[in-house]
Each structure stands twice: as structure tokens, then as C-alpha cells.
Amino acid sequence: MEISALAFAVLIAGCAQDSPKPSPVSESKPAAEARVSPPQTNQIRVSAEDLPPGTYQVLGKLEVSKPWYGNLDESKKMLADRARKLGADAVIQAKVWHSPSGFAWAAPHGSGVAIKLTNPASMNLEALPGGWF
């Protein structure tokens, strides 16, 4: 009995050494690291919709996730925070969902495309379905 308990403890200890520690937020690096503008503090429009071609420049594709439970607005906020660091005006083609991650069965995840408008005066982001984050 004591041998099996010792073997179990050694097995568990061996597995724990290789287990990665979850980070609070997982984000992918955008394809284009060159910034069109410096990071900003403005609110970012996050939308599942697309904009007409030629009205924006793609700054990068974004992917975010949390290792623990949360709501889908957290995914949208993480997308907006990442886009803000790139100097983006909006996140388009945004998708958010729950999926297993880290230690949660239903952690918030998201993806989208960070964009910079080519002519901000000609585009009304308020009319784009979505929300400000």
C-alpha cells in the first residue's frame, strides 16, 4: 500500500514539472509589426462586420484568450487593448467564443483584424455594428 502511494506521488511530481503555467492573457503577434500611428488611448470599435476594401490598412490579425472563466465582453476588451497598442482605429471581422483553456472549460477567446482607416473623416465607425471598448 505504501509503495503504491509513493509511486503515485512520484508520478504526479514528474508530471507537474513539465506543466506550463498559464498566463493571464494569450495574444498572438500581429503579422505587420510596423505601426501606422503610435499607441493610443482612444476607444476602439470592435465589430464582426467588414469595411469596404480600400478604406483601411490592416495592422495585424489578433487572437486573444484567457486561461480562466469570463464573459465574451472580456474577449472584446482584450482585442481592443491589443489594437490600441498598434495604433488601430477599429477591430473588424471580430469573433468571440468560449472554449477550454488553462484550467477552465469555458474561457473567453477572440480573434479579429486590427485596422487603421485610410481616411477617418470619410468613415463613420458609429454606424458599424458592434461596440466601443
**Mean pLDDT over all residues of the chain?**
81
Rg (CA), the chain: 20
pTM equals 0.73
Which band of pLDDT confidence, cut at 50, 70 and 90, is reported for residue 91? very high
Q: Which domains does the chain have, with CATH numbers?
A: 24-132 (3.30.110.70)
Which band of pLDDT confidence, cut at 50, 70 and 90, is reported for residue 14? very low
pLDDT at 102: 83
Lowest mean pLDDT among 62-66, 72-76, 101-105, 117-121: 101-105
Which band of pLDDT confidence, cut at 50, 70 and 90, is reported for residue 95? very high
3-state helix, strand, coil in the chain (%, to 5): 30, 30, 40
